[in-house]
Chain A
Amino acid sequence: MSLFVAEGLVKRFGGLLATDHVDLTVAPGEIHALIGPNGAGKSTLVNLISGLIPADAGRIVLDGVDLTALAPHQRVRHGLARCFQITSVFRNDSVRDNLLLAVQAQAGSSFRCLRRREAETVLMDGALTLADKVGLAEVLDRPAGTLPHGMQKRLDVALALAARPKLLLLDEPMAGMGPEDSLQMVALIDRLRRDAAILLIEHDMDAVFQLADRISVLVYGRVLTSGDAAHVKGHPEVQSVYLGTEGHA
């Protein structure tokens, strides 16, 4: 039984078929990695699933709810949260304010406009819990833009987590990280396994092979093959179009 099903997703940019009838499933608790050459359409696929760009065709179902017709923010409400390939946090706000904003989105009633937010302990508690979870409790008062890259990325993940997602979409979470930060991020993602199923896009093969329960390879907008790490590593075409020498590692 799949938690998440995407069926026949199609997206065209002018003459370019960026997403070509993609079918994809994610099982509960699974980390499903999506790899593929640059420009294969991985980010596009995430954008289609999260609703940031409208699909030309196809269907998206999460936990039995058809999300296809819903606006992006409604999809979040139904348990579909995401991070961005380029870290996207509120750079001028403190980490605390970033987290509060995310928690508030989940708490709803953002039209509440007379009560001072500082007085809302529910939100504060939520923010602190999140900060603990991703290891940002020490830097709550720093403006997010001044944090080191790895921390910003973790904050980005925390923002997505606030929605208590059933499925978390991570677009290159390891991007721009040194080995140390990468390890931290891998550990974090591994921990998140318990909270949500994850669709992971990543070019860092060490991380992918370490984390993924299943790997799908996207090439020219189409799923080339799908299987566990061993299967993918051994797939000759995947080696030639994507893995190169890393396939032999």
Chain B
Amino acid sequence: MAQPAFATRFPGAVRRLPWLVLALLAVFPLLAPTLGLEYYVGFVRRVLIVAIAATSLNFILGYGGMAALGHAGFIGVGAYTVVALVEAGVSSAWLAWGGALVFGGLAAALIGAVSLRTRGVYFIMITLAFAQMLYYLAVSLRTYGGDDGYGLYTPLAMGPWLDGAHPDVFYWVVLAIAAGVFALFSRVAHSRYGHALRGIRDNETRMVALGYPVFRLKLAGFVAAGAVAGLAGGLLASHNTFVSPGMMHWTQSALLLVMVILGGLGRRWGAPLGVALWLTLEEALKMHTDYWHWPLGVLLLLVVFHAPQGLAALLERRGDRQGGAA
């Protein structure tokens, strides 16, 4: 296997890397105009939002072994929560996104309560089924535009100190949330709860026999992930200023899964790396050719055969493994 040469040679750099990345991301909007990269502020913002969703999926999949193929459903629930609240006259971003978080979590609680009784491929498929139901529900929901989607053209207010209409402010808010979510999940991964979740992934029967309330533990993780995905959906709604059922289609769930596996399952940096690489490539390839799908396909095959643990594995120190492919 490829040796993480960089990491072993510069362990200190690796430890400081997260802070460096965070700092770079934070000053990026200030530097962007001078570098002529204004457009990329919005792009990075999207990457961050998708990374939030992917991080939550990585949490339940990589650490909890729950391969959910309906994660886009929760993103959609979050986005439509924002739509519904805006339609009902809410103008505060915090309320709207808070609502997205809550309803994402509620949806996950309901779906999880049913789905988590199944295992393996059955779990994959039942989560997919629920997400498809949500998709068709949204398609036929006339009030919120159905298949035509719903535009959110007035920016949400972020309170007296923050100018919600300013794209850079929104960027920093997203960055802060992303960093928070990321830190939170990394933290949780090393807590009692995180270890319990990994135990369930590795040997569920044994965990039951050890006295763990396995179902409740899994459900808690599922709900947390659903809530965070809902939050990401809310942010995405604001970012796109537009919501349509397409964002819940099963292919979106599949893409999210692909990005997470590409980045590295159950690895701290897996989700953001996978998302950043995938979206960047998509963006770049589209500009140059009509046939922009196949290089991505080739990339996936390369990863499967040459970096089966994902990209993060190439960067991480060997001993720092937090759990392998489920």
Contact = CB atoms under 8 A, between A and B. Distances in A.
A and B touch in the complex (CB under 8 A): yes
Interface of A: 50, 52, 71-74, 76-77, 81-82, 84, 88-93, 97, 100-102, 104-106, 109-118, 120, 123, 159-160, 162-163
A169 to B, nearest CB: 9
B195 A117 contact: yes
A93 to B, nearest CB: 7
A123 B192 CA distance: 10
A114 B324 contact: no
B206 A104 contact: no
Contact of B199 (A90, A111, A162): A90
A116 B194 CA distance: 9
Nearest to B184: A114
B242 interface: no
20 contacts: A52-B205, A52-B208, A72-B208, A76-B210, A81-B209, A81-B211, A88-B206, A88-B209, A100-B195, A101-B196, A101-B199, A104-B192, A110-B192, A110-B196, A110-B213, A113-B192, A114-B191, A116-B190, A116-B191, A117-B190
B220 interface: yes
B227 to A, nearest CB: 14
A123 B195 CA distance: 12
A92 B202 contact: yes
B203 interface: yes
A84 B202 CA distance: 16
Contacts of B209: 50, 52, 72, 76, 81-82, 84, 88, 160
Interface string B85-104: 00000000000000000000
B133 interface: no
Interface of B: 187-188, 190-196, 199, 202-203, 205-214, 217, 220, 323-324
A106 B207 CA distance: 11
A231 to B, nearest CB: 32
Contacts of A102: 210
Given A93-B202, A116-B187, A109 B208 contact: no
Given A90-B202, A104-B195, A111 B210 contact: no
A229 to B, nearest CB: 29
B212 A110 contact: yes
Task: Name, among A71, A76, A100, A110, the residue most crowded by chain B CB atoms within 10 Å (CB to CB).
Answer: A110
Contacts of A117: 190-192, 194-195
A111 B193 CA distance: 5
Contacts of A163: 210-211
Contacts of B193: 110-113
A115 to B, nearest CB: 6
Nearest to B195: A117
Contacts of A89: 203, 206
A60 to B, nearest CB: 16
Contacts of A92: 202, 323-324
Nearest to B190: A116
B211 A105 contact: yes
Contacts of B206: 84, 88-90, 159
Contacts of A110: 192-193, 196, 212-213, 217
B192 A159 contact: no
Contacts of B212: 73, 105, 110
A101 B190 contact: no
A109 B193 CA distance: 8
Contacts of B196: 101, 104-105, 110
B210 A101 contact: yes
A116 B191 CA distance: 4
B191 A105 contact: no
Contacts of B194: 113, 117
Contacts of B195: 97, 100-101, 104, 117
B213 to A, nearest CB: 5
Given A73-B210, A113-B187, 14 more contacts: A73-B211, A73-B212, A81-B211, A88-B206, A92-B323, A92-B324, A101-B207, A104-B195, A105-B207, A114-B188, A116-B190, A159-B206, A160-B210, A163-B210
